[in-house]
């Protein structure tokens, strides 16, 4: 499959232009979509790519302590962390978890997707929003894994089945809508799948470049390892670890080979 993204730029006083996507599949199917928007060709990503990048960025801070400061203006309480992560991709979230809960469209728990915000009551469990996390994995049964800043453990990934959060779940909201495009504040074109070139007509083209496949990651069980300690080491949940390795119980043996992440790409 060859995918070509052609961009025709019409300069006006308002810097508006038309973007035309042309997709050719085995020389038999061509689908064209046009849209008008303010555009930075190096940093614009579709919603699926945005959420993948967003979660990867959030995971960089796993194990950082509660109230960690990535810079002097930011402090990682729960809403400070979600605000910081989304701000990196051009989305401005309000400061408190209660405000963020009212900022975005409510999503049914069974319709959750990666990148959605999930809201919980605080330690008093009074049904008022007091905590927020970002969905990492969502499952058909309404269960989910989420990354958040916990005042006990710092930046961690937790599961909705954990007793503390199961009793306190209130609602979810969607920041990144379907097929949304955003200006992502990523480092350089090394983090995007596209490269710019200029053809002999003088028009700018972006040619899709397929990323290198990511190899699978494995863990060889050592004496003293537990599913919990292994999951924390790699920033995943115990449920995810058990599901990927088809484990029905908690027993593991020294030298056992566990899948942490499967090959992607």
Q: Is the distance from CB of 79 to CB of 93 less than 8 angstroms? A: yes
Cβ-count burial 45-77 (b if 16+ within 10 Å, e if not): bebeebbebbbebbbebbebebebeeeeeeebb
Q: Is the distance from CB of 101 to CB of 132 less than 8 angstroms? A: yes
Report d(CA 194, CA 186) in Å as an integer: 13
Catalytic residue among 43, 131, 148, 219: 148
Determine whether 219 is an active site residue.
Answer: no
Catalytic residue among 128, 131, 219, 220: 128
Catalytic residue among 43, 78, 131, 219: 78
Q: What is the dihedral of CA 119, 124, 126, 130, to 10 degrees?
A: -30
Q: Is the distance from CB of 118 to CB of 112 less than 8 angstroms? A: yes
Tokens standing for residue 239: 């449920």
Residues sharing a CB contact under 8 Å with residue 188, sequence separation 6 or more, in sequence order: 42
The residues assigned a catalytic role are: 78, 128, 148
């Amino acid at each position: 499959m060859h995918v070509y993204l052609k961009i025709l730029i019409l300069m006006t006083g308002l810097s508006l232009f038309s973007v035309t996507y042309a997709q050719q599949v085995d020389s038999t199917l061509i689908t064209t979509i046009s849209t008008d928007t303010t555009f930075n060709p190096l940093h614009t990503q579709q919603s699926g790519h945005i959420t993948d990048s967003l979660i990867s960025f959030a995971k960089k801070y796993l194990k950082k302590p509660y109230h960690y400061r990535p810079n002097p203006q930011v402090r990682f309480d729960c809403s400070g962390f979600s605000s910081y992560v989304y701000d990196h991709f051009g989305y401005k979230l309000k400061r408190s978890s209660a405000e963020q809960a009212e900022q975005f469209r409510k999503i049914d728990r069974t319709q959750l997707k990666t990148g959605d915000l999930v809201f919980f009551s605080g330690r008093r469990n009074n049904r008022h929003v007091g905590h927020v996390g970002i969905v990492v994995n969502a499952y058909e049964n309404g269960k989910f894994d989420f990354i958040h800043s916990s005042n006990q453990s710092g930046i961690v990934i937790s599961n909705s089945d954990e007793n503390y959060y199961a009793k306190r779940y209130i609602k979810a909201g969607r920041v990144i809508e379907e097929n949304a495009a955003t200006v992502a504040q990523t480092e350089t074109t090394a983090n995007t799948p596209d490269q710019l070139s200029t053809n002999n007509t003088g028009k700018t083209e972006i040619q899709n470049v397929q990323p290198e496949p990511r190899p699978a990651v494995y863990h060889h069980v050592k004496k003293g390892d537990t599913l919990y300690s292994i999951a924390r080491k790699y920033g995943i949940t115990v449920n995810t670890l058990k599901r990927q390795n088809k484990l029905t119980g908690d027993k593991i043996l020294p030298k056992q080979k566990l899948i942490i992440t499967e090959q992607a790409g």
